[in-house]
A = this chain, B = another copy of it.
Amino acid sequence: MANIASGSTVGFVGLGAMGLPMAKNLVARGFSVRGYDLRQSAREALVAEGGRGAASVAEAAREADALVLMVVNATQAEAALFEQGGLEALPQGAAVVLMSTCPPAAVEKLAERVTGAGRRFVDAPVSGGMVGAIAGSLTIMAAAPAATLAAVRPVLDALGSKVVHVGEHPGQGAMVKTVNQLLCGVHIAVAAEALSLAGKVGIDREVMLDVLGGSAASSWMLRDRGPRMIQAQPEVTSAVDIFVKDLGIVLEAGRDTKAALPLAAVAHQMFLATSGRGDGAADDSQVIRAYQALNRQSTTENR
């Protein structure tokens, strides 16, 4: 399989908050990008950047050297490939590159069907969020046979600044991403637990964040989400429901492998409760609202 270098055709499915800037970065690197999204406005945004819009998943896949999937979840990825004609339209030997966060077991099954049909498969979830997607500085956790990875490498290099080959088998990338999300989710929830306690006992939480941000208690999430936890209505950079889903995937991986994950399980409960209280679309820092409810604090006390 020749390298899918600049000039090659790449089908791109899912032009959302992450997908659109990723597709734009492929255009900027000289790939011929055909993007599909249900929303016409998203397709038009790609066209404005020099990409082409596709009327269906199948049209995006036709004659493509690689088909990148940046959809919401494994169910959407399956639908795109097997129900909307993506796999059938994709030429033999071309590569499906699945970049969404999906359960490892679902990725394994999906990969089997794809490779069974004579196409290649790269399990390549990302971290770095919208900021990384826009800057092309994502971390990409790629699992695929070495030759397949080498072939799609130019595509991945256009999207991320750190491409780590985590294993030969599809599902291993998803597992690394799962472990990554376990840490992210628990770090957000424990920052909320800490700031909720600080607020309850009357410690100034700005002072608290100042002390914690420079100590051994620090985490990337504390520094990023902490300041938004002491705002009442912060901007939404990533929603509570994303972690309801992602910690759900973490626990599903734990069930599949029979591994007890007690901290992840508790953190998931706090995100679930936040969503259940009607705040699923709020910024994920607002998991602190579940702690406030639990500990009978008013929002004012917490500011």
| A interface residues (Cβ-Cβ under 8 A, vs B) | 104, 127-129, 139, 141, 162, 164, 166-167, 172, 175-176, 178-184, 186-187, 189-191, 193-198, 200-204, 207-208, 210-212, 214-222, 224, 253-254, 257-264, 266-267, 269-270, 291, 294-295
Question: Copies of this chain, how many?
Answer: 2
15 further A-B contacts with Cβ under 8 Å, apart from A166-B211, A186-B193, are: A127-B211, A128-B215, A166-B207, A176-B203, A176-B207, A179-B212, A187-B190, A189-B263, A193-B261, A193-B262, A197-B254, A215-B220, A218-B219, A218-B220, A258-B295
Chain B residue at minimum C-beta to C-beta distance from A216: B220
Question: Which among A191, A201, A224, A253 has the highest number of chain B CB atoms within 10 Å?
Answer: A201
Q: Which chain B residues border A217 with CB–CB below 8 Å?
A: 127, 179-184, 187, 220
Main secondary structure of the interface of A (DSSP, over half): helix
Q: Which chain B residues border A208 with CB–CB below 8 Å?
A: 166, 176, 179
Q: Which chain B residues border A175 with CB–CB below 8 Å?
A: 198, 201, 203
Q: Which chain B residues border A258 with CB–CB below 8 Å?
A: 295
Asked if A127 contacts B216 (CB within 8 A), the reply is: yes
Instruction: Report the 7 A-B pairs with minimum CB-CB distance, sorted nearest first.
Output: A219-B219, A183-B217, A186-B190, A180-B217, A127-B215, A218-B220, A190-B263
Asked if A196 contacts B259 (CB within 8 A), the reply is: yes
Question: Which among A182, A195, A208, A262 has the highest number of chain B CB atoms within 10 Å?
Answer: A262
Asked if B264 contacts A193 (CB within 8 A), the reply is: yes
Known: A190-B183, A191-B183, A266-B262. A224 touches B216 (CB 8 A): yes
Q: Which chain B residues border A164 with CB–CB below 8 Å?
A: 207, 210-211
Q: Which chain B residues border A195 with CB–CB below 8 Å?
A: 179
Within the complex, the shortest CB–CB distance from A57 to chain B, in Å, comes to: 30
Chain B residue at minimum C-beta to C-beta distance from A189: B263
In the complex, what distance in Å separates the CA atom of A164 from the CA atom of B202?
16
In the complex, what distance in Å separates the CA atom of A127 from the CA atom of B208?
13
Chain B residue at minimum C-beta to C-beta distance from A207: B166
